[in-house]
Amino acid sequence: MNADRGVWAWPPPSPVRTREQHPFAPAVVPGGESYHRLGRTSWYRWWTPLLTLAVLGVLVFFLWVAMALAVTLVAVLGGSGLAPESVRVGEIAGLAFGLITAALFIPITVFLVRVVQWRRVGSLISVEGRARSRWLLRCAALAVVPVALATAAYVPLAGRFGLEPVSAEAAGGGRVLLAALFVIALLVPFQSLAEELTLRGLVMQLVGALGARPAEAGGSGAVARVLRSPWPAVLAGGTLFPAIYASTHPGMPWTTAALAVLGLALSWLTWRTGGLEAAIGLHVVSALVQFTLTVLAGGITAIGTGVVVGAGLAPGAGTPLVLALTVAQTGLYALLVRRAARRAGVHRVSAA
């Protein structure tokens, strides 16, 4: 054709396809929503939570089988028999296996979010779709203050509750203590991250996604309005682990209460700051201190008997001291984080 009438290219150019239009693109995360609502994406259906829980159950079963086989293999190589009652591993190996088992929930939650729910993993981290590194480091720095104060208060009060430190020889020797501290420093951050991704991330967003939007069918009802609010998600993310712990440790009411306080505070901070960074910051710092103090106060065997529950509690689990210190520690941390988030202008909702 001539220049006045334009020139047609042949074959015609293919239309540009955006990422969201691609059939295998991740689901579109809703805009203008709080953190707990990010799971109700464009691909969300009523059966999405059921499928997620079903796949989670299958993956946890295979994780349990794999870790049982690994423990048995290590025990046999160490001279243990194959009979269930004779399978034993060393204290350091037991500590490592426990932390690794919890840490493996990181790939499990990533798989559930990316493959089962078919959305970007970043939506599990924050409303910005990514880990806000500076905010995470700031939260970890803020956590040092309440954790240090709780630890300082624990030292003079521990004797009243029979929580006296043990010598290196009583704990198995200096090398054993150093090995335990190395395992703690190496694996506890991953264990803490896994718990936050699962409880404050996956669980909160599963519950938060249940309520229909106002424009959807049934979205104007009272039930949908309640489910859209943050409180069902906060309660689920904060009380699930304490409920499990209470069922397996019925004689530890103080620890259960402290876990509930800690879980609810971290769930509220996750909603209030629009991401997991605040919960991860306190969890990692407090868990490192708690595991270390437990090893020094009761030996490595205390970890295997349930004194350490891996949730970043203040020291002194099993006594009223743990509840008092947890309330003070989490309360001060929540105030510091809320003030810092307001000054830093941390986003609480996803971009439109």
pLDDT, residue 48, reads 96
Residue 172 has pLDDT above 60, yes or no: no
Dihedral, 167, 169, 173, 174 alpha carbons, nearest 10: 40
From CA 278, how far away is CA 339, in angstroms rounded? Answer: 12
At position 248, the amino acid (one-letter code) is T
pLDDT, residue 22, reads 61
Mean pLDDT score, 122-148: 96
Query: Residue-wise over 134-144: b if at least 16 C-beta within 10 A, else e?
Result: ebbebbbebbe
pLDDT, residue 45, reads 92
Residue 16 has pLDDT above 90, yes or no: no
pLDDT, residue 85, reads 52
pLDDT, residue 133, reads 96
pLDDT, residue 311, reads 44
Give the model's confidence band at 296: pLDDT under 50 very low, under 70 low, under 90 confident, else very high: confident
Mean pLDDT score, 344-350: 95
- Who has greater pLDDT, 16 or 183? 183
Spatial CA neighbour of 230 closest among 42, 38, 34, 48: 34
**Cβ–Cβ under 8 Å, residues 76 and 89:** no
Using a cut of 0.85, tell me whether the model's pTM lies above it: yes
The mean-pLDDT minimum among 102-111, 224-233, 302-311 falls in 302-311
Averaged pLDDT of the chain: 84
Give the model's confidence band at 23: pLDDT under 50 very low, under 70 low, under 90 confident, else very high: low
pLDDT, residue 308, reads 43
Mean pLDDT score, 97-116: 95
pLDDT, residue 310, reads 41
From CA 61, how far away is CA 124, in angstroms rounded? Answer: 23
From CA 314, how far away is CA 251, in angstroms rounded? Answer: 18
What is the H or E stretch that residue 344 is in? helix 320-344
